[in-house]
Structure 1
Amino acid sequence: MTAPPARSTEELAALLAKLRDNVSTVFLGKPEVTRLALVALLAEGHLLLEDVPGVGKTLLAKALALSLGCSFHRIQATPDLLPGDLIGTNIFNQKDGTFTFHPGPLMSQIVLADEINRATPRTQSALLEAMSERQVTVDRDTFKLGPPFLVLATQNPYEYEGTYPLPESQLDRFLIRLKIGYPERAAERDILVQHRVGEPVETLGAVLTPTDVVALQHSTRSVTVSEPVTEYLLDIITATRSHPDIKLGSSTRGALAFYRACQSLAKVSGRDHVRPDDVKELAIPVLAHRIMTKAWDQGGRDDATPIIKDILAKTKVRV
Structure 2
Amino acid sequence: MLETSARLLRLLSLLQSRPDWSGAELAERLSVTPRTVRNDIARLRALGYGIHSATGTFGGYRLGAGAALPPLLLDDEEAVAVAVGLQAAAAGSVTGIEETSLRALTKLRQLLPSRLRHRLDALRAATVSVGGRQGPTVDPGVLTAIAAAVRDRERLRFDYLSHDGTESVRTVEPHRLVHTGRRWYLLAWDDGRGDWRSFRADRLRLRTPNGPRFTPREPPGGDAVEHVLRGTGSAAWRYQARVRLHASPAEAGERIVPTAGLLTDDGQGGCVLETGGDSLHNLAAFLGTLDLPFTVLDPPELRDLLRILADRYRAAADGPQAP
* Common topology (TM > 0.5): no
The structure showing larger relative contact order (alpha-carbon pairs under 8 Å, at least 6 residues apart) is 1
TM-score, structure 2 as length reference: 0.22
User: Looking at CA atoms only, which structure, 1 or 2, has the larger radius of gyration?
Assistant: 2
Whichever structure has more strand as a proportion of its residues is 2
